[in-house]
Structure 1
Amino acid sequence: MRSDLTRFVRNTLGAVAAVAVLTPFSAGAEEIVARLSYHWAPAHHSAIYCQKFADRVNERGAGKIRIETYPSGQLFGIREIMGALTSGAVELGGVVGTVSFPPVNKNYNAEGLPGVFQSFDHLRGFFRDDPAGKAVWDNILKRTLTTFVAYNPTGPYMSFSAVRPLDSVEAFQGLKPRYLAGLERPRWEALGASAISLPTREVYTSLQNGMIDTLSTVPSAIKAYSWWEYLKFGQKPYQFFADAFILGNQRWWDGLPDDVKQILLEVGEEISKESTESIMRFSDEVLEEFVKEQGGRVDELSGEELAKLEAIDREKVLPAIKDLIDADVLKAVQDYAAK
């Protein structure tokens, strides 16, 4: 936890330094200009909806507010955006919960528990309605000096490999996976694979040179970043539902006129609904293209193999993450999921 907080503080300080070289946001006496930074490539589902958010706000808020979008990590990468938002180096950002939130509050690791939540609505209900989950969510926003604007999910997580069909639990033995969130590492180890940490921008080159050959990600990503040039085998069932958000810097938000806030909230609510409703369908379409046009293969574990995977999660992964989630929060998650 201490090292995670250290990294978060370092990223925040780096973002503060970036303020000195970034231009101020004024484009006239009345119009507010804000930047929306996100690491997703333009073809990624979450990038598409970030752009829709900006376009809609710009149309309804013409003359009052204009949002400029910066995709593909042009301003800040996936591991840098939280610090940038906290410092005020950028007004709006696309944030992946499993990456950005655990360094602030380790209990957000609950999102990535394999097989616990059954949908995005189920997941969000824990952080919105359950007292333990809501305390985690409120703590994250307070500590990062951010405000919630919209949900913009990245999709359901599953495993992909360049080496062999993932048609059994044993297929993972000896693979070289990449992990992005810390919660992934215990699972890879339990499956007999040696994982290394890599940011999104380094995945393509690492697949190309053989540094890694496997990763868990959302279907949208294998297309958006052209990873499916190397990844040829996928495995279901989905492990968890990776949520993402459009967040705003709290100080910037507090200084906005009420009518501008209302525009942002109205559009944010629309994007939350549309992005969430379309993400599973979009993921299915990408997997269909992966199989039919890219020559890929997707195996879905069932029967004895699925039971073996679930046993590994229950008997090896959960005990290994005891330092990543407080016991009382883990119990609250399990109780919530059992309802």
Structure 2
Amino acid sequence: MKPTFAWAAVAALTLATSAPALAETLRIAGNFPVDHSSSLAMERFADAVSEKTGGDLTIETFPAMQLGGAKENVDQVRSGVVFGTWIGSAYLSRTVPELEAVSLPFAYPDRETAFRVIDGKAGEVLAEKLAERGFVALGWMELGSRNVTNNTRAIESVDDFQGLKIRLQPNETHLATFRAIGANPVSMGISEVYSALQQGVLDGQENPFSIIASRNFDEVQAHLSDSGHFFDYIVLAANKRKFDGLSDDHKAALRAAADEAITWQRETAATEDQASRQALIDTGMTFTPLSDETRAALRERSQPVIGELKERIGGELIDLVLKEAAAE
């Protein structure tokens, strides 16, 4: 005897209501090496999300350019192909130019100042700008103070930058700053830099000490400085449409997990920075610290860049950043 349609409907409803909800997997991609503190922080983030959601959300991480380089990751998140990315903020500045306001030359005397700025009103404004372009900012990790390496000469004065072909990130303020101090900046993806240095296509590059070490640039560079010309952030950004589609509980879990992972990363990065500098010196790089006089001269030479940036993105946010950076 065949069941009636009514009984069949009841049976289907019973199965639907008794079946456990399927876990949702969210993919996030990055271009940092597997052992970089930001990649390790994302593993912590994934564990915390699973714990806080009882396994309802699973984070799958893809570090080390497994899903493409930084530009590809930005495009993937913006289109929703992947849920999120952790990425140097410079790579988002082409999409969100206002990000350049927190990457001003010689603006932060230390990391504490840099994080006071991004954790304050300036960070709130940038979160709004990111949202307008389809991203949700889940937090800001440390990429760190950027320092120049090269194969030509030790950097002791402003004149030593003259004509050096230096690789930089695709950030207009960064590129303009190095033109202002007499260098010849080249925008290039990180995956190409080692071979370009090795072949002499570039004289040098600039990165935090931890990236210089993890990318093994000491193998193809002789001179190391502590120029600290920019402080760079790593933004953990998600696709806004996908994030907004999550339940309130799941959104809260993601934010709480991000806060925990980012706190750990910032603490780890501070230790990693000094350890990496020493490791580079130990491998044989010649370390030449900049004098206060040289640093002041570089700051003065690069000031017109800030005026140009105000013309491009407006002065209100830049003035806010400079005010918060100068606050005691």
Superposition deviation, residue 120 in structure 1? 4.5
Superposition deviation, residue 237 in structure 1? 4.0
Superposition deviation, residue 91 in structure 1? 0.8
Distance in 2 between residues matched to 1:55 and 1:224, nearest whole Å: 24
Distance in 2 between residues matched to 1:136 and 1:259, nearest whole Å: 24
Q: Relative to 1, partners in 2 of residues 1:281 and 1:210: Cα closer, same or farther, differing over 3 Å? A: same
Match of 1:252 among 230, 242, 246: 242
SS in 2 for 1:99: helix
Task: Name 2:189's counterpart in structure 1.
Answer: 199
- 2:303 aligned with 1:278, yes or no? no
- 2:238 aligned with 1:241, yes or no? no
Task: Name 1:330's counterpart in structure 2.
Answer: 318
Superposition deviation, residue 141 in structure 1? 2.1
- 2:97 aligned with 1:106, yes or no? yes
SS in 2 for 1:33: strand
Deviations 1:91-112 (A, max 9, x none): 1211221221x22332321121
Task: Name 2:255's counterpart in structure 1.
Answer: 265
Q: Relative to 1, partners in 2 of residues 1:236 and 1:324: Cα closer, same or farther, differing over 3 Å? A: farther
Give the gaps of 5 or more residues in structure 2. Answer: 1-19
* Percent of aligned pairs with the same amino acid: 25
Match of 1:44 among 17, 36, 49: 36
Q: Are the counterparts in 2 of residues 159 and 235 from structure 1 also a CA contact under 8 Å?
A: yes
The aligned amino acid for 2:39 is A
Distance in 2 between residues matched to 1:330 and 1:59, nearest whole Å: 39
The runs of at least 4 aligned residues of structure 1 exceeding 6 Å deviation read: none
Match of 2:135 among 121, 129, 146: 146
SS in 2 for 1:210: coil
Superposition deviation, residue 319 in structure 1? 4.2
Superposition deviation, residue 128 in structure 1? 4.9
Distance in 2 between residues matched to 1:175 and 1:285, nearest whole Å: 27
Q: Are the counterparts in 2 of residues 30 and 64 from structure 1 also a CA contact under 8 Å?
A: yes
Match of 2:22 among 16, 21, 30: 30
The aligned amino acid for 2:211 is A
Q: Relative to 1, partners in 2 of residues 1:232 and 1:46: Cα closer, same or farther, differing over 3 Å? A: farther
- 2:296 aligned with 1:307, yes or no? yes
Q: Are the counterparts in 2 of residues 153 and 243 from structure 1 also a CA contact under 8 Å?
A: yes
Q: Are the counterparts in 1 of residues 143 and 233 from structure 2 also a CA contact under 8 Å?
A: yes
SS in 2 for 1:247: strand
Q: Relative to 1, partners in 2 of residues 1:266 and 1:290: Cα closer, same or farther, differing over 3 Å? A: same
Superposition deviation, residue 115 in structure 1? 1.9
- 2:267 aligned with 1:287, yes or no? no
Deviations 1:132-169 (A, max 9, x none): 663343122222x2222233221221111122212222
Task: Name 2:45's counterpart in structure 1.
Answer: 53
Task: Name 1:117's counterpart in structure 2.
Answer: 108
RMSD after superposition: 2.3
Task: Name 2:76's counterpart in structure 1.
Answer: 84
Distance in 1 between residues matched to 2:125 and 2:296, nearest whole Å: 33
Deviations 1:260-287 (A, max 9, x none): 3333222211112111122121111000
Deviations 1:59-79 (A, max 9, x none): 554532222111121213212
Superposition deviation, residue 308 in structure 1? 2.0
Q: Are the counterparts in 2 of residues 120 and 243 from structure 1 also a CA contact under 8 Å?
A: no
Task: Name 1:298's counterpart in structure 2.
Answer: 287
Rg (Cα) greater in structure? 2
Distance in 2 between residues matched to 1:179 and 1:92, nearest whole Å: 24
Distance in 1 between residues matched to 2:65 and 2:87, nearest whole Å: 12
- 2:124 aligned with 1:134, yes or no? yes
Task: Name 1:318's counterpart in structure 2.
Answer: 306
Superposition deviation, residue 324 in structure 1? 4.0
- 2:169 aligned with 1:188, yes or no? no
Distance in 2 between residues matched to 1:50 and 1:297, nearest whole Å: 34
Q: Are the counterparts in 2 of residues 45 and 220 from structure 1 also a CA contact under 8 Å?
A: no
Q: Are the counterparts in 2 of residues 98 and 111 from structure 1 also a CA contact under 8 Å?
A: no
Task: Name 1:224's counterpart in structure 2.
Answer: 214
Q: Relative to 1, partners in 2 of residues 1:60 and 1:337: Cα closer, same or farther, differing over 3 Å? A: closer
Q: Relative to 1, partners in 2 of residues 1:263 and 1:118: Cα closer, same or farther, differing over 3 Å? A: same
SS in 2 for 1:80: helix
Task: Name 2:89's counterpart in structure 1.
Answer: 97
Task: Name 1:168's counterpart in structure 2.
Answer: 157
Distance in 2 between residues matched to 1:203 and 1:85, nearest whole Å: 24
Q: How many residues align?
A: 307
